[in-house]
Amino acid sequence: MHDPSLLVNAPEFVDAVEPAILQARCRVLVQVMTFEMDSVGRRFWDLLVRSPAEEKVLCVDAFSTAKISDDLIFSLRFLSDPEFRREVRDTRKLLRSAERNGVRIVVTNPMGCLWRKFPIRNHKKMMVVDDEAFLGGFNLSEHNFRWHDLMMRTGCPTLVAALAGDFYDTMRGVNSSRIVPTPLGKLYFLDGRRSRAEYEELFATIERARESIDVITPYVSDPLLARLAQLAESVRVRVINPAHNNKAILQQELFRAAAGSNLEVLLYQPEMCHVKAVVVDGTQLILGSCNFDFVAYDLQQEVVLCTDHRGLVEQFRDRVLEPMLAQSIAAESAPARLYHRAGLVVPLSRWYVSLLSRLSR
């Protein structure tokens, strides 16, 4: 078993996962929230078809039947952009298939009538390739590959087995909340609607900080922000959020929580950042698919690793945290246009998510 490593940004991820898929003999299990038949999706689909593995499965959330290239399929772009229409058509055609070219296709979390279940997503991003696993934030589409993101690669047998087991549960339509101890750390499977105990344990890890907490996530809200705001003033709390955010309206939640608290908000400048991670006292790392926003907390399926593996923590500090800090500015120094006025959008969204959560239990 090789030591776990971080793959930062799309080129590193592709360089690692492509040969692994093409050399696989037993299984290639791919789960993402977003899969689109653009150049990235077609490349990975070709990899799956060409792989000699006996078992090949692509598991995609129904989100990709409703939103393509970061736009709703029934937006004005559908009328004006022929390439967008082609991508919508090809993606939906693929995801309607149960199997194609030796690859089984599973679509989770149907939207429901009038898309009433739109927020209830399976948000996990992970791959199991023979005896290796990849876990993190990458979806398989062009716009996601342009973002700053990462995946962890590991051959830890316990962790690989746990991810594979959860993948097969998802294929059967079974979602669960549980914590799996592994030599690499605790693996949290979060169902959203039934994950309060698991989230409380994660929050407890964060609240035990004595010196510092660094949070990197594009979309963050309560309950995490409320917990961070209650920490002792002696704990330095920094939240790094992308200045060029594709859901910038949620930044209003972050700016609101920071007002009058010890939260230090930093805006990452170069591009959209899709990394989801928390570093506690420089010794513990939480990373995975969870943004720690109210949608994840109430509705979404997520997977998160909490580890004190020294090599992983150091890699994250040196290759992700420190470079991002160097390329971020204090929120107070940001242009006024970044302070979006959310109005009633966020409160109404929170009410709808809360209602769906209660109705779905």
Mean pLDDT, rounded, for 284-295: 96
φ, ψ for residue 189 (rounded to 5)?
-100, 120
CA distance 164 to 60: 15
Convert the pLDDT of each residue in 38-58 to its tens digit: 999 999 999 999 999 999 999
Mean pLDDT, rounded, for 168-182: 95
- For the chain, give the mean pLDDT: 92
pLDDT band, very low/low/confident/very high, at 352 (cuts 50, 70, 90):
confident
How much is the pLDDT for 342?
A: 56
Question: Nearest-CA neighbor of 205 among 136, 306, 314?
Answer: 306
Mean pLDDT, rounded, for 155-184: 96
**Per-residue 3-state assignment (H helix, E strand, C coil) for the chain:** CCCCEEEEHHHHHHHHHHHHHHHCCCEEEEEECCECCCHHHHHHHHHHHHCCCCEEEEEEEHHHHCEECCEECCCHHHHHCHHHHHHHHHHHHHHCCCEECCEEEEEECCCCHHHCCCCCCECCCEEEECCEEEEECCCECHHHHCCECEEEEECCHHHHHHHHHHHHHHHCCCCCCEEEEECCEEEEEECCCCCHHHHHHHHHHHHCCCCEEEEECCCCCCCHHHHHHCCCCCCEEEEEEECCCCCHHHHHHHHHHHCCCCEEEEEECCCCECCCEEEECCCEEEEECCCCCHHHHHCCEEEEEEECCHHHHHHHHHHHHHHHHHCEEEHHHCCHHHCCCCCCHHHHHHHHHHHHHHHHC
Let me know: does 173 contact 159? Beta carbons within 8 Å.
no
Kindly report the number of other CB atoms within 10 A of residue 351's CB atom: 11
pLDDT band, very low/low/confident/very high, at 227 (cuts 50, 70, 90):
very high
**Domains of the chain by start residue, with CATH:** 5-157 (3.30.870.10), 176-360 (3.30.870.10)
Convert the pLDDT of each residue in 329-340 to its tens digit: 998 765 544 555
Beta-bridge partner residues of 188: 179, 304
Question: Nearest-CA neighbor of 96 among 73, 67, 122, 62?
Answer: 62
How much is the pLDDT for 337?
A: 46
Q: Which two tokens stand for residue 205?
A: 């890890």
How much is the pLDDT for 155?
A: 97
Convert the pLDDT of each residue in 240-286 to its tens digit: 999 999 887 778 778 887 887 889 999 999 999 999 999 999 999 99
Mean pLDDT, rounded, for 12-36: 98
How much is the pLDDT for 267?
A: 95
